[in-house]
Chain A
């Protein structure tokens, strides 16, 4: 009897212990409750007068339309997978002038090289011969291109949600450029999740398929006799006085041997909740790029070389004026830049919750690299909550940079230099950007399309003006849906 009582007590104790153990299971909130889908689209246009394809002079007119679909889905309680699929299409006066001429010479080329893309859309040569202008778009196929990109990111959180690791892969492709990237990072939160420290590393293995300015491309194929063959067969080349000449010989030009561009980046991030209304973060990046860092279709005109043209001689004297609609200067070379660049940007964000109606968002970045470029970026945004659902946010951004030691304006480089570019993006300038945004949020996702509930609409518009007269506008709209 005593034994039975002991066994019974033991069983009760075991069951009771088991039940007690079950009640200690800690509730774990899912990292992401349900799948989120973002649809994003943007329209961008710009205009300027320092086209790098034309050696630092000419139209920079460009329009770009881009869209992305970003799907962020929970894999399990702890992990998410984000797929980002994007496409953008641009049309550009500048890049159209890789081949600026409205028609070929006698033959139209007929070769089997990459210039076919440029020459396919040409119209028949008029009796007066081909002509072009850095101030006008040509009809060549290089006036437009598409970029497609896809990336995937997997993120995993610890049970306590204070340690996250992630890995990502990416791929993108343009007509003349392909990129493959991969990377990963970790983030840890401590101090009651008031402090976060993160590390990130990425590698991009990119490859160019070089396209050269037409005149240099033909020279690379036919050599010194290129004006009598291929694309330029029968075409008259003019000197500075508008006289026919055969002296044009871009002997400085050599095709590019190595077409790879590798980028290695590491990033350290620190963020801190300073008070109930103030938080900040600091990012420190280190970036090393190696390989072909110049762009193969950026023309260079040397100050110590004679000038040669194709087109109508009456426009030669006002070549640098937008009224030039009929003559194009032949390149001496393409831009040449070192095969290594080391970049050091450090940035900080500081956000302050002023009250229930206003929030202040600020950003600052200092940037330095070994091409002697230094820059400062500062931006400020003031979200104003008009109601539970609507927020408007005016914003302003200021940017300034010192020019690269390899930069010189149109036709000022000397042929004796080792490196040279007339890319205005590498010159000294400052820029102002200002605009506004409107945000609509419905946390109850009342509006639905199929199984997707609309949570958020974000629209923003910004105007950008550079001190060298480049002007741009960009409008973006984004829709966030929650899968239900």
Chain B
């Protein structure tokens, strides 16, 4: 079920992308809060989560190495 929802979501996304947004229409997209990455100040939280949880990666940050954590 989840796979179907994800697949449907991707299809909708790809279809949407056909209507590309022009640069001058990206006022909202260029808002600093809309950045598709973790905030700079979030790095320490990500670091302690890598220590305290088994999962790591897929968050745009470091995904292994550099510390005695997992």
Residues of A in contact with B (beta carbons under 8 Å apart):
38, 40, 42, 44, 46, 64, 66, 68, 70, 147, 149, 170, 172, 174, 176-177, 179, 181, 191-195, 202-206, 208, 261-263, 265, 267, 269, 271-277, 279-281, 283-285, 287, 289, 295, 343, 345-347, 349, 351, 353, 359, 361, 363, 365, 367, 369, 371, 373, 375, 377, 383, 385, 391, 393, 399, 401, 404, 425-426, 431, 433, 437, 441, 458-460, 462, 464, 466, 470, 472, 474, 476-478, 480
Contact B17 A195 (CB under 8 A): yes
Contact B45 A353 (CB under 8 A): no
Q: Beyond A274-B17, A345-B57, A425-B70, is A359–B64 a contact (Cβ under 8 Å)?
A: no
User: CA separation between A179 and B20, bound complex, in Å?
Assistant: 43
Chain A residues with CB under 8 Å of B58's CB are 267, 283-285, 345-347, 365, 367
Contact B41 A40 (CB under 8 A): yes
Chain A residues with CB under 8 Å of B39's CB are 437, 458, 460
User: CA separation between A289 and B41, bound complex, in Å?
Assistant: 28
With A351-B34, A478-B40 given, name 5 new contacts (CB 8 A).
A263-B63, A353-B34, A385-B33, A401-B55, A476-B45
Contact B41 A375 (CB under 8 A): no
Residues of B in contact with A (beta carbons under 8 Å apart):
13, 16-17, 19-23, 25-29, 31-37, 39-45, 47-49, 51-60, 62-68, 70
In the A-B complex, the 4 residue pairs with the smallest Cβ-Cβ separation, listed nearest first, are A204-B65, A347-B58, A345-B58, A367-B55
Nearest CB in chain A to that of B36: its residue: A281
A80 CB → nearest B CB, Å: 15
A387 CB → nearest B CB, Å: 14
Chain A residues with CB under 8 Å of B43's CB are 40, 68
User: CA separation between A64 and B52, bound complex, in Å?
Assistant: 14
Q: Beyond A279-B29, A345-B58, is A202–B65 a contact (Cβ under 8 Å)?
A: yes
User: CA separation between A275 and B60, bound complex, in Å?
Assistant: 23
Nearest CB in chain A to that of B68: its residue: A177
Chain B residues with CB under 8 Å of A351's CB are 33-36
Chain A residues with CB under 8 Å of B13's CB are 272, 274, 280
User: CA separation between A426 and B6, bound complex, in Å?
Assistant: 28
Chain A residues with CB under 8 Å of B31's CB are 353, 359
Q: Beyond A66-B44, A261-B65, A367-B58, is A383–B33 a contact (Cβ under 8 Å)?
A: yes
Contact B36 A474 (CB under 8 A): no
Nearest CB in chain B to that of A206: its residue: B65
Nearest CB in chain A to that of B38: its residue: A363
A433 CB → nearest B CB, Å: 8
B4 CB → nearest A CB, Å: 15
Chain B residues with CB under 8 Å of A191's CB are 17, 20
Contact B67 A179 (CB under 8 A): yes
Nearest CB in chain A to that of B70: its residue: A425
Contact B48 A192 (CB under 8 A): no
16 pairs across A/B with beta carbons < 8 Å?
Answer: A181-B66, A202-B64, A204-B64, A206-B66, A262-B65, A263-B63, A267-B57, A272-B16, A272-B17, A347-B57, A351-B33, A351-B35, A365-B58, A373-B54, A425-B51, A458-B41
Contact A265 B44 (CB under 8 A): no
Contact A359 B33 (CB under 8 A): yes
Contact B41 A437 (CB under 8 A): yes
Interface core residue of B27, B39, B54, B63 (most chain A CB under 10 Å)? B54
Chain B residues with CB under 8 Å of A275's CB are 16, 19, 21
Contact B57 A401 (CB under 8 A): no
